[in-house]
Amino acid sequence: MSITNKIHFRNIKGDIFGGITAAVIALPMALTFGVASGAGASAGLWGAIIIGFFAALFGGTPTLISEPTGPMTVVMTAVIANLTAANPENGLAMAFTVVMLAGVFQIMFGVLKLGKYVTLMPYTVISGFMSGIGVILIILQTAPFLGQASPKGGVIGTVQNLPQLLGNINPIETLLAGLTVAILLFYPSKLKKFLPPQLLALIVGTLISVLLFRNSDIRTIGEISVGLPSLQMPTFSAAQLQTMIVDGLVLGMLGCIDALLTSLVADSLTRTEHNSDKELIGQGIGNLASGLFGGLPGAGATMGTVVNIQSGGRSALSGLTRALVLMVVVLGFSQYLTGIPSAVLAGIAFKVGMDIVDWGFLKRAHKISIKAALIMYGVIALTVFVDLIVAVGVGVFIANVLTIERLSNHRADKVKAVTYDDEEIDLNPEEKFLLEQANGRVLLFYLSGPMIFGVAKAISREHNLINDYRALVLDLSEVPILGVTSSLALENAIKEALEKDRQVFLVGVSGQAEKRLRTMGIMDMIPEQNILKDRTLALKEAVNYVDPTIVDVPQNNISPRILV
């Protein structure tokens, strides 16, 4: 496997045009997320450059555009706020160290080949925490949208101070923010390929503030440092070490999910298949480098990726071009960005929050499933008011419990203990005859499909329903997977039968199920001659054991014969 991403020059015109177009969109978004996070516009710009470059160079999705995203910015905002409150002197440096940790975790996930498992999460949980992140972003933009500094305390602090914020509105800044949102909402789709709405809103808002409100006290993004960023050495504090590691893990996991979901979008548009483990390594290298140079964390950005592909980008050259174009803008024209009003960036971030909320699923979740809707709403509430990792953990746990219950109930229907003919078991005429003649003295225990741990209760229940038998036939011929808990339930059934001097016959066990039973020593409990491949033969042996005088079913006009 190549270390670098797929770079070729067969589509150089399309890749360069795609990269330039993606850079145009990235500029306002990087400024917006940098200011919104509290790290500053420079952190957003350099995050977009560094992550975009290294993720494109070492990733596994050729057309993916990586940069600071709404979800990553929301988490980073909380990280900066918490660490600077606990340690004002080194808090920001520690926050960038968390970005480095996130990158290290992502590299580890990729090396351990966990990419295919990252997105194995119920959609109700993904929808819930993404919508929750969108709500957080909207709430956090309330103060700058109204022309005021953000109150301390994050989401809770903003909600608590909402009456004061509404009572002290700055009309001019609120007008600029509202105009920005209006442009983004009503911008004609046909024009997006010529001029991104975010860039237009940035230009219009800035021109209005300069031409019409020059003498007004409008807050702007301020000075952007010219030149290459300085190296940020990892900074730790013993008191905050555990918090930093957990925050790094949260950022890393969120970045993995964000990037791989966007990679799937890229696959669908280009009809290719990305390398998820390699992509995680590329994302990790990008975030590690971004943290080292004081940049925001980032991930695959859906908007930039789609625009890149639609503009002709087909290889990693487009992502590298985008990063280089952004670097030229930052190094050569950053002095022209200082007058951009903070309210305009708040309007852009407000619209990003609206776009992150999964409105489509919110509208119909209750129609699909009440349980699914409750999980989603619960994850949203936990994400907004408690913690992202708690929200995801609780959501995944509850969703998995409900899924296991549903699967267990379905699989429980495939556990049958019968002594007579049962329509739900496909018995041939000879097997039906044998069970009929055994008159309840032979118990056929039939299992079908994967026997997960939730089925163990059904195995015990079915076995305990029938006690008066002399021979037990365990049919596992249609069991591809046998869990440990179900194996133990079968072991108990076999032990109980043997303790009561009953014969036990095992039928059709193979593959993983056979390996599991042999490993656990369960097959050693059954005589070798009683382990058979054919159910009919096993029933004959069982019937012959309980009553050797029973006559076999006549076949092909052959006279009945005594089983011996």
CATH assignment at residue 484:
3.30.750.24
Please count the other Cβ atoms lying within 10 Å of the Cβ belonging to residue 324.
16
Same-domain pairing of 154 and 285: yes
pLDDT at residue 465 in the model: 65
Same-domain pairing of 271 and 354: yes
**Beta strand 471-478 with 442-448: parallel, antiparallel or unpaired?**
parallel
Q: With left for phi above 0 and alpha for psi between -120 and 50, is residue 147 left, alpha or beta?
A: left
Please count the other Cβ atoms lying within 10 Å of the Cβ belonging to residue 458.
22
- Cβ atoms of 321 and 213 within 8 Å: the answer is no
Percent over 70 (pLDDT), the chain = 90
Domain boundary among 402, 422, 438: 402
Domain boundary among 376, 402, 428: 402
47 assigned to some structural domain:
yes
What is the Cα–Cα distance from 504 to 472, expressed in whole angstroms? Answer: 5
pLDDT at residue 204 in the model: 94
Residue 564's pLDDT band (cuts 50, 70, 90): very low
pLDDT at residue 344 in the model: 93
Query: Domain residues for 366?
Result: 12-169+190-222+231-402
87 assigned to some structural domain:
yes
Same-domain pairing of 303 and 159: yes
Query: Above 80 in pLDDT, residue 3?
Result: no
Element (H, E) at 428: none
Percent over 90 (pLDDT), the chain = 43
Sheet arrangement for strand 531-532 = 415-418, 442-448, 471-478, 503-507, 531-532
Domain boundary among 402, 431, 446: 402
3 assigned to some structural domain:
no
175 assigned to some structural domain:
no
Query: Above 80 in pLDDT, residue 369?
Result: yes
Residue 327's pLDDT band (cuts 50, 70, 90): very high
Q: Which two structure tokens, joined as six digits, stand for 481? A: 């997977």
CA–CA distances in Å: residue 199 to residues 47, 203, 298, 348: 19, 6, 20, 10
110 assigned to some structural domain:
yes
**Beta strand 531-532 with 471-478: parallel, antiparallel or unpaired?**
unpaired
Query: Above 50 in pLDDT, residue 561?
Result: no
Same-domain pairing of 239 and 134: yes
Residue 563's pLDDT band (cuts 50, 70, 90): very low
536 assigned to some structural domain:
yes
Same-domain pairing of 304 and 397: yes
Same-domain pairing of 384 and 422: no
551 assigned to some structural domain:
no
Query: Above 70 in pLDDT, residue 409?
Result: no
79 assigned to some structural domain:
yes
Rounded mean pLDDT, 80-92? 92
Same-domain pairing of 119 and 250: yes
Same-domain pairing of 198 and 277: yes
362-376, 469-483, 543-557: least confident range: 543-557
Q: Which of 104-108, 154-158, 227-231, 479-483 has the highest mean pLDDT?
A: 104-108
Query: Above 80 in pLDDT, residue 560?
Result: no
CA–CA distances in Å: residue 438 to residues 79, 155, 289, 417, 475: 71, 71, 75, 15, 17
| Chain mean pLDDT for the chain | 86
pLDDT at residue 466 in the model: 64
Q: How many domains does the chain have?
A: 2
Same-domain pairing of 396 and 449: no
Rounded mean pLDDT, 445-449? 82
Same-domain pairing of 203 and 110: yes
Same-domain pairing of 379 and 476: no
Same-domain pairing of 218 and 98: yes
Rounded mean pLDDT, 26-50? 93
Residue 290's pLDDT band (cuts 50, 70, 90): very high
